[in-house]
Structure 1
Amino acid sequence: MNSAYHSVLTIAGSDSGGCAGIQADIKSISANGAFAASVITATTAQNTRGVFDIHAIPVSHIRKQLIVVLEDIEFGAIKIGMLHSAEVIEMVKKTLREYPVKNIVLDPVMVATSGDRLLNKAALNSLKSFLSDAYLITPNIPEAEILIDKKIDFNNIVDAAKEIGNTFKTSVLLKGGHLEGSDQMTDTLFVYEIQKTVFVHNKRIQTKNTHGTGCTLSSAIAAQLSLGLHLEEAVKKACSYLNKTIVQGKDRILGMGNGPVEHFPK
């Protein structure tokens, strides 16, 4: 008996250092038991110390990549990472609407580790108009604050997750890693369809090896959705996986800057 792959398409940029972006996505999807296909939106000259150059792929070529894989392969989920311009965002939105895609997991990358915004106003507005197409979005605290234009802390994180979900009509995993002051890290999942809030707890790990954690988590969730898990279970399994990758990678050395997680934990 032949059996089909559980496939995930990742749409994102390439990280030449291998810690984040498409490279992290493929490792995470594979580690979670699914098959990874990819559409590359940009290449970067990047290592553990930073991003030194970005080369945007022509929009027409990004669209061609999308069309040929979507016409040939059935995907159980689609993971979307950084889309660097309004033109790219609008094209990806338009193209995906031409196909019967499902389970879009969108990581709304808007803020660099330095705190600098990565998207201009036009791109941000395009991204906001795209969020309702997603099944789940996975903002961190700085990104969530941009989406609702207010500060977020321990006291209002649940209300913030609900506001984002109901504003953009999508489920939200609001990642709590930027909230200091606790040995426990809590991510807040708001399931839009049933207006349910779920907390996912993991021990906070002290390490500088967290380069690519957002890519890794969103890709793991997409992989678990492609395997047939419902959203709450997929998120919990993916968060548990990410925690293991951080624990097992916390003392490993790659390069001279912020290293990656261990994508294939034992």
Structure 2
Amino acid sequence: MSDELILAISGNDIFSGGGLHADLATFTTNKQHGFVALTCLTAMTEHGFEVIPIDSKVFKQQLESLIDVPFSAIKIGLLPNVEIAELTLDFVKNHPGIPIVLDPVLVCKETHDVEVSRLRNELVKFFPYVTVITPNLPEAELLIDKKIHTLDDMRSAACILNELGAKTVIVKGGNRLNNHKAIDVFYNGKDYKIFEEAVLDKNNTGAGCTFASSIASELVKGYSEIDAVANAKAFVFESIKQSNEFGVVQYAK
């Protein structure tokens, strides 16, 4: 078994295209041993795709079960409510000195403004303790409370998130700015870098989870943050190429 142990704090995708399934597949492809602390379940109901948070007591018990595991990195995905976010932050604070990647998903972004504000404020508290954050455009807009329309807006958003405490930021633009290119902006407080790949006419469900997990995997291998992002971008591109009707499929290296 690999001595590189990575924890994914993430949700279950009932269709297995993203969430913990994408995280574990990414770690396994990189010959690393993945663990999961489950934050939520999901289901497709008459109301649409629903997220069902794990009871906070059960979630706390999961984290307590893992307290003595010598993790090499932590990847944080969907945190469905403030209570689970608070418990996750406490766990992160007890694991200094290892790469931590936060993929901030605001699952409540289409619900009440007060709920969005509470979770947004809780996510910002993570920034000083994590290595990299990887918001997509809707999440970035909610985190900075400002619309993003252009590449310059993406750079500005990355700068604002850095000023809020995030050491390294990758704002994921997807194909929102360009129908033919998936554009991401990297910023580490000093330098900007634009990453681009062609947009594929394939199912990209789980691509964001895979991207963040791949960054964590690459950081554990010893790559710099900018090289880890470059490698992860290429990894996701190949994964989308092999996606099926349920989501991305990691390719064998």
TM-score, scaled to structure 1? 0.85
Distance, in Å, in 1 between the alignment partners of 2:252 and 2:199 is: 17
User: Please, which runs of 5 or more residues in structure 1 have no aligned partner?
Assistant: none
The Cα offsets for residues 140-199 of structure 1, whole Å up to 9 and x where unpaired, read as 11111111111212232222212211223321011110423352222111113xx11122
Structure 1 residues 265 and 117: alpha-carbon distance in aligned structure 2, compared to 1, 3 A threshold: farther
Distance, in Å, in 2 between the alignment partners of 1:175 and 1:200 is: 9
How far residue 96 of structure 1 moved from its aligned partner, in angstroms, is 2.3
Distance, in Å, in 1 between the alignment partners of 2:252 and 2:240 is: 9
The answer to whether the 8 A contact 2:175-2:181 is kept is no
Structure 1 counterpart of 2:53, from 52, 56, 61: 56
Equivalence map 1:133-148=2 (5 Å): 133-148=129-144
Distance, in Å, in 1 between the alignment partners of 2:44 and 2:35 is: 22
Structure 2 counterpart of 1:160, from 152, 157, 160: 157
Structure 2 counterpart of 1:41, from 22, 34, 39: 39
Distance, in Å, in 2 between the alignment partners of 1:8 and 1:202 is: 27
The answer to whether the 8 A contact 1:8-1:29 is kept is yes
TM-score, scaled to structure 2? 0.89
* 2:8 equivalent to 1:10: yes
Distance, in Å, in 2 between the alignment partners of 1:201 and 1:15 is: 27
Matched with 1:83 is: 79
Distance, in Å, in 2 between the alignment partners of 1:180 and 1:74 is: 41
Structure 2 counterpart of 1:99, from 95, 100, 109: 95
Structure 1 residues 182 and 99: alpha-carbon distance in aligned structure 2, compared to 1, 3 A threshold: closer
Distance, in Å, in 2 between the alignment partners of 1:125 and 1:158 is: 21
Structure 1 residues 10 and 50: alpha-carbon distance in aligned structure 2, compared to 1, 3 A threshold: farther
User: Please, which runs of 5 or more residues in structure 2 have no aligned partner?
Assistant: none
The answer to whether the 8 A contact 1:111-1:142 is kept is no
Distance, in Å, in 2 between the alignment partners of 1:157 and 1:186 is: 10
Distance, in Å, in 2 between the alignment partners of 1:180 and 1:206 is: 16
* 2:105 equivalent to 1:109: yes
Matched with 1:69 is: 66
Distance, in Å, in 2 between the alignment partners of 1:184 and 1:36 is: 31
CA root-mean-square deviation: 2.3
The answer to whether the 8 A contact 2:2-2:32 is kept is no
Structure 1 residues 17 and 188: alpha-carbon distance in aligned structure 2, compared to 1, 3 A threshold: same
Q: How many residues align?
A: 249
